[in-house]
């Protein structure tokens, strides 16, 4: 399963959120579909591999099947994806 959150953090003129998934394969697959460059893949926090995406990419991710979740629920969900990197 692929997820997007409601973080809505301002970055320059963009509003950003997280794109993450149960598996790295799923995450990269949807990132490729919505044309998010893999150089934006973030793995510094190995418990939460993700992409930061803008709201227009969030809309595309949801159209591709991503499930919207609350930012505060990420710790529960990220337990599923720990140690994937």
Separation CA 15–CA 3 (nearest Å) = 17
What is the model's pTM? 0.86
Q: What pLDDT, on a 0 to 100 scale, did the predictor assign at position 79?
A: 59
Q: What pLDDT, on a 0 to 100 scale, did the predictor assign at position 62?
A: 98
Separation CA 19–CA 50 (nearest Å) = 6
Confidence of residue 75 (pLDDT cuts 50, 70, 90): confident
Q: What pLDDT, on a 0 to 100 scale, did the predictor assign at position 78?
A: 63
The 10s digit of each residue's pLDDT in 8-64 is 999 999 999 999 998 999 999 999 999 999 999 998 767 789 999 999 999 999 999
Dihedral of alpha carbons 57, 63, 66, 69, sign: positive
Q: What pLDDT, on a 0 to 100 scale, did the predictor assign at position 85?
A: 39
> Is 5 a residue whose pLDDT tops 70?
yes
């Amino acid at each position: 399963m692929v997820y997007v959150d409601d973080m809505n953090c301002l970055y320059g003129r963009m509003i950003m959120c997280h794109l993450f998934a149960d598996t790295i394969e799923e995450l990269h697959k949807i990132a490729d579909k919505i044309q998010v460059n893999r150089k934006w893949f973030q793995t510094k926090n190995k418990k939460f591999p993700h992409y930061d995406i803008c709201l227009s990419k969030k809309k595309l991710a949801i159209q591709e099947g991503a499930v919207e979740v609350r930012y505060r629920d990420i710790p529960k969900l990220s337990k599923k994806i720990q140690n994937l990197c």
